[in-house]
Structure 1
Amino acid sequence: MTDAEHPDSPALPHAHAVTWGVAALPHRGPKRELSTERIVEAAIEIADADGLEAVSMGRVAASLGAAPMSLYRYVTGKDGLLLLMYDAASEVVVPGAGSTWRERLREWAMFVRASYDAHPWLADLPPSSIPTTPNRLAILEAGLAAIEDVDEPYDAKLPTLLLLLGYIGLYAKASSNADVDDAVRRALPELVTDERFPLLAPAVRAGVFELRDTDRDVGFGFGLSRLLDGIERWLERKADGDELEQLPTGITTDKHVREAAKLVEKARAELRDAEKKAADAVARAADRLRAAESKAEAAAEKEAAKAAVKAAKAEAKAKK
């Protein structure tokens, strides 16, 4: 099926037309080895091995033993190739074996996450609010199937799925250590000081940023469970008022806002200092009281011992 067969259909960019199967096939030259599918597969292999930045038309062509210009008969350029890669790597099959909406939605999230684990560069291409390729839309279709029996309208279900998709993509990006300089990571316990980061510094010294194989799974599961807790609570309370007023983008650089934030941080630092002094005062007072109690107990024991000796002497004298 091509655009020529459906002249009333809106004209799609070439890469999108390819994903939807409505692009006209290129005229094949003497070499029949090339195809859009082979080009996309080669690009995905490069991205999986060396990251998205390693993908170029030249390198893809070299991996296929072809001239770079020959690729342009199948893809319009790198942007089109990236979109085709994005859609191809987003093919997710979800069994849908859970018995409750929460079990099915958790399974859906885990299968989507597996695609990000298989292709970490997917996190560099975050999902948009309107997915436009078949496989990205199929992910939403599977998500809707997971919560099909939830009595909520689509304008509530779709934002819920986009929330989870955003979490999956952002977690994949945030939990990657590919761009972290190991020397800098090891230096963080010294760089993150108590003066500048009083709440974070103890955690850094305790090794919160040390590399552990289990961290990604534990952290992802924890975050996903908390999101599902929130969705479940939202379904239970059936309350409105979730809308938030959008702040102007310039508010982050507003002079008065920044000054107010500095005052708040100064007040927090002073409060922490006062709380520390109070805790020290309590500890010292407790030590003094315990010392006084120990001294009083020792004096009482001494007096009791004296009284006992005196009583023993009196008893002995009386027997004589």
Structure 2
Amino acid sequence: MSDAPDGQAPPLPHAHAVTWGVAALPHRGPKRELSTERIVEAAIEIADADGLDAVSMGRVAAAVGFTPMSLYRYVTGKDDLLLLMYDAASEIAMPSTGEGWRERLRDWAVFVRASYDAHPWLADLPPSSTPTTPNRLAVVEAGFIALEEVDAPDRMKLATLLLLLGYIGLYARASSDAGVDDAVRAALPELVTDERFPALAPAVRAGLFEEPVAEPESGFRFGLSRLLDGIERWIERAGADGDDIGRLPASIVADKQVREAAKVVDEARARLRQAEAKAAEAVARASERLEAVEAKDRAADAKAAAKAEAKADQRAKAEAKEQAKADAKAERARRKEPSSR
């Protein structure tokens, strides 16, 4: 039950009250020279340049030219400041011109991603299933408009938008190589062995990780298109709720027996990989032996054919020689015959 009188919104935490424009103004302190907007802008500039960890009340105060205590008249602490930054950076204009839901939802995702490109630290603040500030709600509102023509429950539309928001934030983090040491990157071809990573090792040796992600844009488009493919397939099934996947309690991951079972599976996979390697080696050796036998047979056949050809040549020469003798003999006999008068 809310403690607010009927028809009135309950009191909001300070930062939320600021975003909704219902916060009380500071009763004292510098006027005009300092404001919540200026504080938030300075904090965003710091985060854009050096990351979210670089934002502190002291550094923001130095950036605006006031003492940290002056800031507390406008924001109650860093948590308040982060929420205000999150909401301010989420102010996105989304002029979609797509004709169908897929095009409009794609445009929506592209515009949201642009805000993550402008403010990479947004990826460090995961979206909530219940957005509570105006600009974050406006993002969801734009997504609902994109899905207006889709005949599906609102809760499934929200799940769709959360899926895409999660992908956008995760891709923003996954495509960043800011924390990768060049020496470690160079060592990966030696560290990623065939024994431990049989599927990945050949690709790593071929240069898969030699450079940072060269075309993050194409990777993003590919992932987004596949997600939209899946959503489209779901819509074609009339928004069926047949995706019953049980939730796995987090405690199961740490369960001793589960971990031991996983270890057994890993060991079995390792043995399977060794067996497959031996089988592949056996096949390769058998292929080499077969190739050697076939090569030997081909050589023998070629030798026999050459021998037969040589014999045929000899017979032909002998026959030609005998024919020549016979012709010569006949010629001599013809010459000895008396001339007819």
Equivalent residue letter for 2:75: V
The match for 1:259 is 260
1:53-202 correspondence to structure 2 within 5 Å: 53-202=53-202
Q: d(CA) in 1 for partners of 2:204 and 2:318? A: 73
Q: d(CA) in 2 for partners of 1:202 and 1:303? A: 45
Q: d(CA) in 1 for partners of 2:93 and 2:5? A: 31
Deviations 1:264-300 (A, max 9, x none): 2222222222222222222222222222222222222
Greater displacement, 297-306 / 310-319: 310-319
Shift of 1:18: 0.5
TM-score, length basis structure 2: 0.87
Greater displacement, 90-99 / 215-224: 215-224
Deviations 1:142-176 (A, max 9, x none): 11111111111101111000000011111112222
Equivalent residue letter for 1:214: A
Deviations 1:37-89 (A, max 9, x none): 11110111111111111111111111111121111111111111110000000
Shift of 1:221: 1.4
Q: d(CA) in 1 for partners of 2:137 and 2:28? A: 31
**Match of 2:111, SS?**
helix
Go from structure 1 to structure 2 and tell me whether the alpha carbon gap of 1:307 and 1:36 turns closer, same or farther (over 3 Å shift). Answer: same
Equivalent residue letter for 1:269: A
Q: d(CA) in 1 for partners of 2:309 and 2:178? A: 78
Greater displacement, 176-185 / 164-173: 176-185
Deviations 1:218-266 (A, max 9, x none): 2211211111111111111233321321222221122221222122222
**Match of 1:221, SS?**
helix
Greater displacement, 147-156 / 240-249: 240-249
Q: d(CA) in 1 for partners of 2:20 and 2:270? A: 57
Unaligned residue ranges in structure 1 (runs of 5+): none
Equivalent residue letter for 2:219: G
The match for 1:309 is 310
Q: d(CA) in 1 for partners of 2:50 and 2:5? A: 40
TM-score, length basis structure 1: 0.92
Equivalent residue letter for 2:272: L
**Match of 2:319, SS?**
helix
Unaligned residue ranges in structure 2 (runs of 5+): 323-341
Q: Percent identity?
A: 73
Shift of 1:211: 2.9
The match for 2:44 is 44
Which has the greater radius of gyration? 2
Shift of 1:129: 1.0
Equivalent residue letter for 1:133: T
The match for 2:273 is 272
**Match of 2:145, SS?**
helix
Go from structure 1 to structure 2 and tell me whether the alpha carbon gap of 1:196 and 1:275 turns closer, same or farther (over 3 Å shift). Answer: closer
Q: d(CA) in 1 for partners of 2:57 and 2:237? A: 53
Q: d(CA) in 1 for partners of 2:265 and 2:22? A: 58
The number of aligned residues is 317
Asked whether the equivalents of residues 15 and 75 of structure 2 are also in contact (C-alpha less than 8 Å), the reply is yes
Shift of 1:213: 5.6
Go from structure 1 to structure 2 and tell me whether the alpha carbon gap of 1:29 and 1:261 turns closer, same or farther (over 3 Å shift). Answer: closer
Shift of 1:212: 3.8
Shift of 1:31: 4.3
Query: Are 1:233 and 2:233 counterparts?
Result: yes
Equivalent residue letter for 2:150: V
Equivalent residue letter for 2:9: S
Query: Are 1:27 and 2:53 counterparts?
Result: no
